[in-house]
Amino acid sequence: MAEITAQMVKELRERTGAGMMDCKNALNDCKGDMEAAVDALRKKGLAAAAKKAGRITAEGAVGSYIHGGGKIGVLVEVNCETDFVARTDQFQELVRDIAMHIAAADPRCVRREEVTPELLAREQAIFREQALASGKPAQVVEKIVAGKMEKYYSEFVLLEQPFVKNPDQTISQMIAEKVGKIGENIQVRRFVRYKLGEGIEKRQDDFAAEVMAQAAR
């Protein structure tokens, strides 16, 4: 087993934000394997977040992010348990990171439960038709549909998207790590994303078509 040095403990602490003893124990448990120790602490962070998930989050902050010289704007509400935590630099940085991620990744909803039944049925039908058209056996079609839906969630559901600043983590995992460090339940409640001119071109095309139709009468 590799010797666990103070430098290794320091590096792991900087990478995970976990306490010194937690880092040392993780390195010992993982026989000095830094990446395995990171994963072990991350799993513990997720467990800690799960224990806190039922706590009421009535405080927090509404954060904003403007990108591309005013081309894209985001507002996001992130909740925590106390006003004290809401005012900390660590929490405010988290809110900014989430707002920035939304601007870059363009999610459609916060969590998969918010995907409407109509949209869910439509996507599943498309994936099912694609699988059947490719000649896949009927018994594996539903597995293919399920796999494609997981990919859909990872592309369009905020909490399941890879974090743009660290694609090895999902937004959910990144928040869970913050929960482990801050010690409070943290939830993304809602967001809105504006893109300059979005939808205008379509309306202009519709208007132009109407004008041309009227002129032809």
Pairing between β-strand 187-195 and β-strand 72-80 as defined by DSSP bridges: antiparallel
Superfamily for the 1-52 domain: Ubiquitin-associated (UBA) domain (1.10.8.10)
Bridge partners, 195 (sequence order): 72
Q: CB under 8 Å to 33, separation ≥6 — which residues?
A: 2, 27
pTM of the model: 0.69
Superfamily for the 55-115+157-217 domain: Elongation factor Ts, dimerisation domain (3.30.479.20)
Secondary structure (3-state) at 73: strand
Q: What is the model's pLDDT at position 15?
A: 72
Domain boundaries, given as residue ranges, for the chain: 1-52, 55-115+157-217, 116-154
CATH of 116-154, one of 3.40.50, 1.10.286, 2.60.120, 3.30.420: 1.10.286
Nearest to 108 by CA among 180, 178, 156: 156
1-52 and 55-115+157-217 agree in CATH topology: no
Q: What is the model's pLDDT at position 85?
A: 93
Sign of the C-alpha dihedral, residues 132, 136, 141, 145? negative
Q: What is the model's pLDDT at position 187?
A: 94
Q: What is the model's pLDDT at position 215?
A: 47
Q: What is the pLDDT along the chain (217 residues), one digit of tens a residue?
A: 568 888 888 888 767 666 677 788 889 999 999 888 888 887 776 656 666 767 778 899 999 999 988 999 999 999 999 999 999 999 999 999 999 999 999 999 999 899 988 998 998 899 888 888 888 887 788 888 888 889 999 999 999 999 999 998 899 989 988 888 888 889 999 999 999 988 776 555 554 455 445 445 5
Question: Dihedral (C-alpha) 112, 116, 119, 124: value to the nearest 10 degrees?
Answer: 50
Let me know the angle formed at the C-alpha of 169 by 165 and 170, rounded to the nearest 5 degrees: 100
Q: What is the model's pLDDT at position 39?
A: 85
* Phi, psi values for residue 77, rounded to 5°: -105, 120
